[in-house]
Amino acid sequence: MKKYNNIMKKCIRLASKAIGKTLPNPMVGAYVLDEFDNIVGYGYHKCYGSLHAEVEAIKMAGEKTKNGTLIVNLEPCSHYGKTPPCVDLIIKSDIKKVVIGMVDPNPIVRGNGIKKLEEAGIEVIKNVLNEQCQLLNATFIKNMEEQKIFVAIKTATTLDGKIATSNNSSKWITSPKARRIVQKIRNSYDAILTSANTIINDNPYLNCRVKNYKSPIRVVLDSNLRTTNDYNVYKDDGVKVYLFTLNDNFKNIYFNKNVTIVKAPCDKSKKHINLEFVLNFLYKEGIRNVLIEAGGTLNGAFIKENLCDKLYHFISPKVISDNKAKSWANGCDVFDINNAKKLSIKKTKFIDPDLFVIAFFEKLS
């Protein structure tokens, strides 16, 4: 229903104020309108463990909820969790209409909230701005539906798709403005993953340098243990680091106490780390999403195995035009264009002078 599109947009904007703070729970924003459709309350889920958005909005509206409307990007919960069910509070508040962006993929809710509201005689309008609501909580949806970690790649290339020249010159492809956005993106991920190659070539810190932003856990894939403790990623800044390797020799090598070394199994080629093992391991450790910031080999390996969900792609108006220059993804082994890995672009933004593209990998069914 178009009537509620604008207010649902406001819910999404409000919910995303808590980006990076709610996992493993969703980002939720809610508005309450009185019986004359005036905004009388709003609220959002501020961080993991805090009040649900609906409770915040209803509290602010007070008595004015009577015959009012609640707009929320996620189906209200019907279960006793850290807080009592939001649907009970909605019913008690004499709200007459609830407008929802998407069904809650959490198996303990999934449709039960809507059912309880309808049974109480409340009109429920579903799927308003459904796609935007799903994009907002893409990590939560994948976690709930598949019990798997959400995987994104961040890359910055020239117009001809290169991330570095043949001798690894890459600082900087994009503008400082684009690079500041990367800091914000990192803040919305539990972990950042990279390869030994990237560490040896660029020695990145992979931290978040914006005030009030958390620094994600760092994950390094280093099959042959070529990196050493003195690289910046291993710095003991209080952030956990997971180092996955195939090499048994790790017990004899010193790493700071924040570094956990995990002996990983090989993939089918017997040469590389099994990527699914890494992802499942991280999920079991409570990590809900991971951002890959690596070179073409690792990016390509994740894409080839269909393990990626999202792509953040910065494109700078430069051309290297050298066939030994480094590409952002290699080794996908696609020889027929019909077998190309497909994505759908959900957002483009001109960040003068660069272009920023957000795309989602198509799910294979």
Q: Which residues bind ligand AOF (CB under 6 A)?
A: 25-26, 28, 45, 52-54, 74, 77, 81-83, 86, 104, 106, 109
Burial of residue 21 (number of CB atoms within 10 Å: 0-12, 13-18, 19+): middle
Residues in the chain, how many?
365
Return the number of other C-beta atoms located less than 10 Å from residue 315's C-beta.
21
Provide the minimum distance between the beta carbon of 85 and ligand AOF in the complex, in angstroms, as a whole number.
9
Nearer to Zn ion (CB atom), residue 72 or residue 156: 72
Provide the minimum distance between the beta carbon of 349 and ligand AOF in the complex, in angstroms, as a whole number.
28
Return the number of other C-beta atoms located less than 10 Å from residue 265's C-beta.
12
Provide the minimum distance between the beta carbon of 86 and Zn ion in the complex, in angstroms, as a whole number.
3
Residue 106 interacts with which of ligand AOF, Zn ion, none, CB < 5 to 8 Å by class: ligand AOF
Residue 226 interacts with which of ligand AOF, Zn ion, none, CB < 5 to 8 Å by class: none
Distance of CA 24 to the CA centre of its chain: 11
Return the number of other C-beta atoms located less than 10 Å from residue 172's C-beta.
10
Residue 109 interacts with which of Zn ion, ligand AOF, none, CB < 5 to 8 Å by class: ligand AOF
Nearer to Zn ion (CB atom), residue 52 or residue 313: 52
Q: Which of 54, 56, 75, 293 is catalytic?
A: 54
Provide the minimum distance between the beta carbon of 33 and ligand AOF in the complex, in angstroms, as a whole number.
18
| Amino acid residing at 251 | K
Residue 82 interacts with which of Zn ion, ligand AOF, none, CB < 5 to 8 Å by class: ligand AOF
Q: For residues 309 and 142, is the Cβ–Cβ distance under 8 A? A: yes
Provide the minimum distance between the beta carbon of 100 and Zn ion in the complex, in angstroms, as a whole number.
12
| 3 state DSSP class of 113 | helix
Nearer to ligand AOF (CB atom), residue 105 or residue 296: 105
Under rule CB under 5 A, residue 208 binds Zn ion? no
Nearer to ligand AOF (CB atom), residue 85 or residue 295: 85
CA distance 68 to 62: 11
Selected from 11, 14, 15, 77, the binder of Zn ion by CB under 5 A is 77
Q: Which residue has the tokens 């243990």?
A: 225
Provide the minimum distance between the beta carbon of 160 and ligand AOF in the complex, in angstroms, as a whole number.
43
Beta strand 191-195 pairing with 289-292? parallel
Interface stretch with Zn ion, choices 75-83, 181-189, 246-254, 286-294 (CB under 5 A): 75-83
Residue whose C-beta lies closest to ligand AOF: 81
Q: Would you give the DSSP letter of residue 282?
A: H
Q: What region, left, alpha or beta, does residue 14 occupy, with left being phi > 0 and alpha being psi -120 to 50 degrees?
A: alpha
Sequence-ordered list of residues with C-beta below 8 angstroms from that of 149, at least 6 positions apart, any chain: 142, 143, 279, 280, 282, 283, 287, 288, 289, 290
Q: Give catalytic status of residue 145 as yes or no.
A: no
Nearer to ligand AOF (CB atom), residue 137 or residue 327: 137
Q: For residues 65 and 37, is the Cβ–Cβ distance under 8 A? A: no
CA distance 147 to 286: 11
Burial of residue 206 (number of CB atoms within 10 Å: 0-12, 13-18, 19+): buried
Provide the minimum distance between the beta carbon of 320 and ligand AOF in the complex, in angstroms, as a whole number.
45
Nearer to Zn ion (CB atom), residue 21 or residue 341: 21
Residue ranges in 38-67 that form contacts with Zn ion under rule CB under 5 A: 52
Residue 111 interacts with which of Zn ion, ligand AOF, none, CB < 5 to 8 Å by class: none
Residue 165 tokens, joined? 């020249």
Nearer to ligand AOF (CB atom), residue 129 or residue 315: 129
CA distance 12 to 93: 23
Selected from 23, 70, 86, 307, the binder of Zn ion by CB under 5 A is 86
Catalytic residues: 54
